[in-house]
A and B are shown apart, each in its own frame.
Chain A
Amino acid sequence: MNQQQANNQDQSIPGEWHVRYNYSVGKVAGHFFEQLKHGKIFASYCSTSNMAYLPPRAYCERSFSPCDGWVEAGNEGVIEAATIVTAAFENLPPPPYAIAYVRLDGVSTAMINFVRDLDLTDVPKAAERLKPGTRVKVRFAHEREGRTTDFHYVLA
């Protein structure tokens, strides 16, 4: 290796990827999103296992049979796990914000969303209010577009 090459060994070349997609939603998610527009959260239900799933899915993998119904989730639920994010990550929302897995009443599984309207200035203090077992309720946006971001959680 000559001197010129040695001097260039720390060089780097910049690069970026730009990739675009259109994700096909399908029937199950399509129904769920349509109901969100009406301010309702529907869980897919399997009468064999008695499991109500959020996020909804076409097939109950426990009973090995298709989900054969829909049940409307309760407007309230319980936090199973939560965090308050205080660091900025590239392409993620500006901090601070709180997210939680919440099991809505009448549903067997937990679904993630933001927890809003909580003072996050003192993080350890705010975290005390997000412990597993805490009751929360669903709040829908006035303008809804049929996406999971149409609703969020607030403390009950």
Chain B
Amino acid sequence: MQSTPVAITGVGQTPFKIHHAEKTYVELAQDAAKLALDHAGLEPGEIDAVVFSMAPTQFMGVNDADRWAVEHVWGENKPFMRIHTGGATGGSALQAAYYHVASGLYRNVLVVGADRVAETPDAQHILNLIWDRFYEHDFALNTVTMAAMVGQRYMHRYGVTQEQCARVVVRSRRHAKQNPYAHLKGDITVDDVLNSPIISWPLRRFDICPRSSGAAALVVSDLSTARRSSTKPAFINGVSSIAHTVFMGDRMGYRAEADLSDHDAFNRAAQECYRQAGVIDPAKHIQIAEIYDPFSFFQFPQLESLGFCGRGEAARISDQGGFEPGGLVSVNLSGGTLCTNPIGVTGLVRVADAALQVMGCAGANQQPDVHNAVATSIGGSEQFLTCALLGDDHLGRN
């Protein structure tokens, strides 16, 4: 059975930075919504439903801030739902919007959200509170210390060095120079990364993403809207997600069904995504990857699990320029999550940057002949993993 064509017809992003002192949270979300609607050439009245992309609201400090946002993102008198899967929120929100339209019940769905992670100095305290209260909460887990342990395990398993990870940071900051929305950008050296202070071994300051504020939005549409849109649509040809136990200790060791350090749930998520689109060889068919990489080593296990190369091979390919334009696949030309992490919309930004490449709207970072792009996101203790495959044509298989 052929699947219903669903496409992204509009993309909106605000610049991302540490603070947006000139606007409130909801005014930021509104900016992104307006930009996406204008890009799609649609009026608010043509939007049938709104999916609100919002992770923990403790960062910005208004409990369940989606309520506050409703009328600002033109959600009044429409179905409105908030999605929250931590760092994977934006990826899950896209999935929800996709199902809305693929069901045939809605023609145009707005996915929108904002975050202000630096509104509180207690962000890592808030993130510590996501762990199990009885067994794990007392041991200083937060996203940085969690990722440090996963990184230590991954680097140990495959002999990956800090220098190899540092090269990813250098590349990402350089790519981000061409992205007007990116938070951190500029020319740095491998030594700059290796000489930055250790935060949680093996992670140093420059191995870690910033706390970003900003907003993003997408318009997800049916084929009739996509056809009359003035912009080239990015078809959503695959969406998938996998959830895991909160207990990271279940996902390491010889009895584990999945190894956390390999991000190996992406193997299954990607296979499902590719199956939906009929893609067999990702390296052959996919030109752009927007990888969820808040930490420098994250690209390696994900690119391996996504099928671009074998286990333990990504760092070497990275060293050889294989993840640059002209290589195996162009990875995070936007600068990725290493340069910009507004948690509640980070997954949305990954999809947005992938979509812009497919739509031919990626500005100075635009690559020629982009037919397919993959975007990922991860939330919780590497618990929620999403994968989306976008294309310049509809590739439905199921």
Contact = CB atoms under 8 A, between A and B. Distances in A.
**Looking at chain B, what size class is its interface with the partner chain?**
35 or more
A48 to B, nearest CB: 14
Contact of A89 (B140, B201, B250, B256): B140
Contacts of A12: 21
A29 B132 CA distance: 12
Contacts of A114: 139
A92 B261 contact: no
Contacts of B256: 109
B189 to A, nearest CB: 20
B56 to A, nearest CB: 12
Contacts of A55: 132, 134-136, 247, 249
A92 B249 contact: no
B149 A92 contact: no
A38 interface: no
Contact of A83 (B124, B138, B145, B261): B145
A99 B139 contact: yes
B255 A132 contact: no
Given A23-B133, A89-B125, A91-B122, A80 B249 contact: yes
Interface in B138-188: 138-142, 144-145, 148-150, 152-153, 156-157
B61 interface: yes
B153 A92 contact: no
Given A15-B61, A81-B149, A90-B122, A109 B132 contact: no
Nearest to B198: A86
Contacts of A85: 140, 145, 148, 199-201
Which residue of A54, A55, A114 has the most chain B CB atoms within 10 A of its CB atom? A55
B199 A87 contact: yes
Given A25-B134, A92-B128, A111 B249 contact: yes
A92 B255 contact: no
Nearest to B151: A83
B326 interface: no
B21 A9 contact: yes
Contacts, number: 141
A105 to B, nearest CB: 12
B138 A148 contact: yes
A115 to B, nearest CB: 10
A156 B22 CA distance: 56
A101 B128 contact: no
Nearest to B252: A80
A110 interface: yes
Interface in A28-48: 29
A83 B152 contact: yes
B134 A110 contact: no
**Looking at chain A, what size class is its interface with the partner chain?**
35 or more
Contact of B149 (A51, A61, A83, A149): A83
A114 B156 CA distance: 20
B135 A110 contact: no
B153 A132 contact: yes
A97 interface: yes
Interface in A100-115: 100-101, 103, 108-114
Contacts of B128: 89, 91-92
Given A100-B149, A110-B248, 19 more contacts: A80-B252, A80-B253, A81-B260, A81-B261, A82-B149, A85-B145, A85-B200, A89-B125, A89-B142, A92-B140, A99-B149, A108-B255, A109-B256, A111-B249, A112-B135, A112-B248, A127-B201, A132-B152, A148-B135
Interface of A: 9-10, 12, 15, 17, 23, 25, 29, 51, 53-55, 61-62, 80-87, 89-93, 97, 99-101, 103, 108-114, 123-124, 127, 130-132, 147-149
19 contacts: A55-B134, A55-B247, A81-B248, A82-B149, A83-B201, A83-B202, A86-B197, A86-B201, A89-B142, A89-B144, A90-B121, A90-B125, A92-B124, A92-B142, A111-B135, A130-B152, A132-B153, A132-B156, A149-B138
